Structure 1
């Protein structure tokens, strides 16, 4: 488990750096960060077999462009974790009951699994209006963070550019949450690479704790806060042998403030085969006590949510159909004969700098469907050279 967490951290850092490197120089040709999505995914799938950090980065980027099916093709066990027995089918209700008077609730995600973002949006709904501030690892923490506007804009962060994360942000905005950034800043990066990887982890976790205290706890002294992190940042204990260099964000936050966050992991367990679950969109509360890491580090997290099985229909995740998204065929004019095309869907009149509700990358010859909420949507298409055809308006039908 520790190796998986470190690999995820290694993959995340180049992506965060890419955020600072993409932007104005390509905006005249490609909106937002589409240029980086093209650059950081393979031009062709034939013979493509990345390993290590490249694999981690690629699978994360595939989720940005609606291609979790390619993630599973590259890494058969991508959405599989150890099987854990179900304690309660109504996992989110169990979480809400466990919150009590906790001021900080911290829940994690795998960066290549948008499903986790759907769950976090549902948790935010369940905690409102008692919780009023949302802090996220993805939020850019450079410049004047006091002006962080709660909106689903492409420039608010890196991971949040993924459409389901965008839908999550829209939910939070509608609920009245205020946003807080706490990620390490460039000015806080002082560790020399020669000091080793664990030193970089320690530097980042310490900065996150310090920034969270300033930008969330002190900025909103009376607020209760929902925190969205990646992977191991919610670990409440140290690493192997309790090495202080690998004490993560949650542990450092508790050490500095005395606040014990309620921590929920979504990245540790799958639902055991054959276990009763309400639906593919319901993460049950599961028993993580038999995982190797908890045997070595008891109490590293408070609650475990098990991920339901991942399956696909027409190349798209089945859970997306279950949340009510409707399959809509990509217009023929948007099917490129050569090279890749990215199709995005937004509400009529919405600016291209807002996170789309759907994004899909197609390779030549592919005809996967778009998955859209009920309503009318404006589709735009892009190749690496820029806009591909004129915008097209489509409708996603209502349920029968």
Structure 2
């Protein structure tokens, strides 16, 4: 199995906009994410998100604060100026195109706040609030950073029964992080599998970084997984079934190795033979 470039048939009015992307990310091909596509895309999970969005047919739109906040003013003035620049950039690159696009906006913590925030006895107007004030559009804002719960889902109220904040429209709770063999179990639940480091790539004396890329993707592609292993540790890669190239190197670069790796799909359990029905002996 390899990652393919077969893009899904999707309407042209689906846009994914993010404040952490470089302009090079605004492309249809190649589908895979490049390390240079943004501030966070070099991280494997973020790179996988970008690749999945392209496969689903989303148009990728980076937006940024092109004008630097004025220096020498109170830091809240700088925040407000920066958020105005972000809101203006988002509007110019998406809403003002006039094609009625549905826009999914992915931003960092705080930028999707729809109400005034008091910081150091001053008003701070985050991007979502300024977007609404400028355009009259009331965005649907979703927070996924504030709540943890044993059950994933939309929060209705706080654990003490009190009302949720009104800063965002929806609050989503995720389960606490859990780990197995030093790796997050939520990735196992998504179908990835443990892939032990091949013996030929192990180094018992030095700290090693391992990166696994799909076999059909170039060196500038974001790896499917990346781990750092200290001497004596036994930490596996987490990969979906498929063919990969694994590269290993030490901090000083004096020791490097590379080799192919195949992660097999899990074998479904064999069907059990039907047991013959038991018969009760008739009494004479």
Residue from 250, 254, 262 that aligns with 2:132: 254
**Hey, what does 1:286 align to over in structure 2?**
155
- Tell me how far 1:289 sits from its aligned partner: 5.5
Residue of structure 2 equivalent to 1:134: 16
Match status 1:353 vs 2:220: yes
Kindly indicate whether residue 221 of structure 2 is the aligned counterpart of residue 343 of structure 1: no
1:334 is the counterpart of 2:201: yes
In structure 1, the residue matched to 2:38 is: 157
Q: Secondary structure at the match of 1:234?
A: coil
- Give the 3-state SS of the residue equivalent to 1:214 in structure 2: helix
Alignment TM-score, normalising by the size of structure 1: 0.59
Q: State the superposition RMSD in angstroms.
A: 2.8
Structure 1 residues 285 and 129: CA distance shift in structure 2, 3 A: farther
CA contact (8 A) 1:379 1:391 kept: yes
Choose 1 or 2 for highest CA Rg.
2
Tell me the distance in 2 between the aligned counterparts of 1:209 and 1:259: 12
Give the unaligned 5+ runs of structure 1: 1-124, 278-282
TM-score by structure 2 length? 0.81
**Partner Cα distance (1:377, 1:195) in 2:** 51
Deviation of 1:191 after TM superposition, in Å, equals: 2.1
Question: In the comparison of the two structures, how many residue pairs are matched?
Answer: 256
Which residue number in structure 1 is paired with residue 241 of structure 2?
Answer: 374
Paired with 2:74 and 2:200, the residues of 1 have a C-alpha distance of 51
How far is the alpha carbon of 1:392 from its aligned partner? 1.2
Query: What is the CA-CA distance between 1:358 and the residue it aligns to?
Result: 0.8
Q: CA deviation at 1:312?
A: 0.5
Residues 76 and 119 of structure 2 are in contact (CA less than 8 Å); yes or no, is this contact kept in structure 1? Answer: no
Is 1:191 aligned to 2:70, yes or no? Answer: yes
Measure, in 1, the Cα distance between the counterparts of 2:122 and 2:12: 34
1:274-303: CA deviations, max 9, x gaps?
A: xxx3xxxxx311124579x977xx521001
Whole-angstrom CA distance in 1 between matches of 2:221 and 2:234: 25
| C-alpha distance after superposition, 1:205-255 (max 9, x if no partner) | 111101001112124632110011111110001102897742111001011
Name the CA shift for 1:220/1:153 in 2 (closer, same or farther; >3 Å): farther
Q: Which has the higher strand share?
A: 2
Q: What is the distance in 1 between the residues matched to 2:139 and 2:120?
A: 19
User: Where in structure 2 are the equivalents of 1:78-89 lying within 5 Å?
Assistant: none
Task: Could you tell me which runs of 5 or more consecutive residues in structure 2 were left unpaired when the two chains were aligned.
Answer: 1-7, 268-284
1:106 paired residue number: none
CA contact 2:196–2:236 (8 Å) conserved in 1: yes
Q: Which has the higher contact order (CA 8 A, sep 6+)?
A: 1
> Which residue pairs with 2:4 in the alignment?
none
Counterpart position of 1:177:
58
In 2: Cα distance, 1:294 partner to 1:241 partner? 22
SS in 2 for 1:345: strand
Specify whether residues 331 and 200 from structure 1 end up closer, same or farther in structure 2 by C-alpha distance, changes over 3 A only.
farther
Query: Offset at 1:262?
Result: 0.5
In the TM superposition, what whole-angstrom CA distance separates every residue of 1:36-57 from its partner, at most 9, and x where no partner exists?
xxxxxxxxxxxxxxxxxxxxxx
Give deviations 1:16-49, integer Å, cap 9, x for gaps.
Answer: xxxxxxxxxxxxxxxxxxxxxxxxxxxxxxxxxx
Cα offsets for 1:356-394 (capped at 9, x unmatched) = 111111122222010000111111123333374332111
Q: Is the 8 A contact 1:269 1:288 kept in 2?
A: no
SS in 2 for 1:382: strand
Match of 1:303 in 2: 170
